[in-house]
Amino acid sequence: MPDFNVGFVIFPDLTQLDFTGPFEVLSRLATPPSLSSPSAFAHSRTHIVAKTMQPVLSDRGLRILPTCDFDSCPQLDLICVPGGPGVVGAIADDKTVDFVRIQSARARYVTSVCMGAFLLGAAGLLKGRRATTHWAYVDLLPLVGATHENGRIARDGNLFTSGGVTSGIDFAFRIVAELAGPEVAQAIQLGIEYDPAPPFDAGHPSKASEAAIALMVRRNEPAHNSLQQL
Amino acid sequence: MPDFNVGFVIFPDLTQLDFTGPFEVLSRLATPPSLSSPSAFAHSRTHIVAKTMQPVLSDRGLRILPTCDFDSCPQLDLICVPGGPGVVGAIADDKTVDFVRIQSARARYVTSVCMGAFLLGAAGLLKGRRATTHWAYVDLLPLVGATHENGRIARDGNLFTSGGVTSGIDFAFRIVAELAGPEVAQAIQLGIEYDPAPPFDAGHPSKASEAAIALMVRRNEPAHNSLQQL
């Protein structure tokens, strides 16, 4: 049975939880928590892909080592592009955009978390598609030819795009359920005790204070302005 | 104003999301999303501490670079110990246990995620305390002198222990609210769009299938057996 290759594309100034959240879930396909029979995903492999093999620094100071570079990465079955302010630089880098475009052409699933949607967009992959991204950037989706779809995760055919940062965890469970079935997804959910209980209910603009929204819009202004050049 | 030093202790075979989840939240104290006044936590610094400066490999293949080693780490104000199967090896390593014990003696907050509780326990820090850990290990808490407290997060004075893996995110918001106030916590929550919507409700044994529970108990057996030697 051939490997099922899952790959996360990382770049300087990414928001690491966009990547590490779904990585924790999807990497568990490799040790299939099959309840009754061996899973096809015993052959799943998870790759952390970057332009070079040098450590990649997140926007908050986490330094991560890739497992392969663009040249040594196998054809991916699922490509996932995380977000963060570094998306602006990634979009300006032809090699990164080309890698995403070429891999996505043959991948079974093309996916993003948060602002990663704009790297897919820069590679021409969102034209005429329904998509989402971090709430502070949804107004920019038409610049890459996409229509914003409300919701934490947007699916359009083989394209999954998700909202800000932590939405990547929910997205990953959707994908696991599709690939390996709901029982496997639920076993992984139990394994990582994903029974969220945030002490506040303020994680979406529909629930947050005006002051918090204004602050976060201001915080995101530099990246928002840069993406407007798309 | 002195720095407020937050430190995560990492070790081989940790479960990376135990660490990267709360890291994403707590590292945002360093760029305080204060709504009205400059926050004391503009001086927050986040450290990733390991025995040596070599990359640390997670149980699922993520390689992380520390920012300091045990010798160069400043006195921490908040120490956080993540979990994973590597806790067994960390407990067997005197230098690691000593580091946790010595740092915790002067830290303002002593905290753990998942099986990290047992590293605190091995350092003698849970004697006579109420605590929690990953659901598959709560029966072992008495071995380190602790009483299991029900709930996703257990607080006993300056000690915060949390349940499996993803509970670390909820724990981090509790800490931010205590340190910088609920408005700051809510602004960070909005920033990372933490409005969880898991596609299934199976993240706790009280909600999961018998088959999933049995499978996960079996999966955790090797580490469970090792910790029984405590």
Q: Do A193 and B212 touch (CB under 8 A)?
A: no
* CB nearest B152 (choices: A55, A65, A197): A197
With an 8 Å Cβ cutoff, is A193 touching chain B?
yes
**pLDDT tens-place string over residues B132-161:** 999 999 999 999 999 999 999 999 999 999
Q: Do B200 and A185 touch (CB under 8 A)?
A: yes
Judged by phi (left if over 0) then psi (alpha if -120 to 50, else beta), residue B176 lies in alpha
Q: With beta carbons under 8 A apart, name residues in chain A contacting B200.
A: 173, 177, 182, 185-186, 189
With an 8 Å Cβ cutoff, is B102 touching chain A?
no
pLDDT confidence tier of residue A32, bands split at 50, 70 and 90: low
Q: Do A185 and B194 touch (CB under 8 A)?
A: no
d(CA A49, CA A104): 14
In Å, the largest CA–CA distance within chain A is: 54
Q: With beta carbons under 8 A apart, name residues in chain A contacting B24.
A: 15-17, 60, 165
pLDDT confidence tier of residue B43, bands split at 50, 70 and 90: confident
Question: Angle A167-180/A182-191 helices, nearest 10 degrees?
Answer: 140
d(CA A153, CA A174): 9
**pLDDT tens-place string over residues A169-197:** 999 999 999 998 999 999 999 999 999 99
Cβ under 8 Å to A: B residues 69-98? none
pLDDT of residue B2: 73
Q: With beta carbons under 8 A apart, name residues in chain A contacting B28.
A: 60
Contact by Cβ (8 Å): A30, A6:
no
The set of residues, in sequence order, having a beta carbon less than 8 Å from that of B73 and lying 6+ positions away, is B7, B47, B49, B99, B103
**pLDDT tens-place string over residues A83-121:** 999 999 999 999 999 999 999 999 999 999 999 999 999
Per-position b or e across A87-108, b if 16+ CB within 10 A of its CB: bbebbeeeebbebbeebbeebe
CA distance B39 to chain A (A): 14
Mean pLDDT of chain B: 94
CA distance B46 to chain A (A): 8
Q: Verify whether residue A68 is a known catalytic residue.
A: no
pLDDT of residue B38: 47
With an 8 Å Cβ cutoff, is A135 touching chain B?
yes
pLDDT of residue A208: 95
* CB nearest A212 (choices: B20, B187, B202): B187
CA distance A218 to chain B (A): 10
Choosing among A17, A37, A49, A138, which should be mutated to test the B contact, i.e. which has the most B CBs within 10 A? Answer: A17
What is the DSSP-derived secondary structure letter of residue A76? P
In Å, the largest CA–CA distance within chain B is: 54
Residue of B nearest to A60 (CA): B27
pLDDT confidence tier of residue A2, bands split at 50, 70 and 90: confident
- Dihedral sign (CA B67, B71, B74, B78): positive
User: Which residue reads 């602002």 in tokens?
Assistant: A115
Beta strand B78-81 with A4-9 is: unpaired
Q: Do B166 and A204 touch (CB under 8 A)?
A: no
Q: What tokens does A24 get? A: 């924790």
Q: With beta carbons under 8 A apart, name residues in chain A contacting B182.
A: 200
pLDDT of residue B22: 98
Alpha helix ranges (H) inside chain A = 16-26, 87-91, 94-106, 116-122, 167-180, 182-191, 210-219, 221-227
Stretch B113-134: mean pLDDT: 98
- ipTM higher than threshold 0.90: yes
**pLDDT tens-place string over residues B69-110:** 999 999 999 999 999 999 999 999 999 999 999 999 999 999
Q: Do B194 and A24 touch (CB under 8 A)?
A: no
With an 8 Å Cβ cutoff, is A43 touching chain B?
no
CA distance A154 to chain B (A): 13
The set of residues, in sequence order, having a beta carbon less than 8 Å from that of A229 and lying 6+ positions away, is none
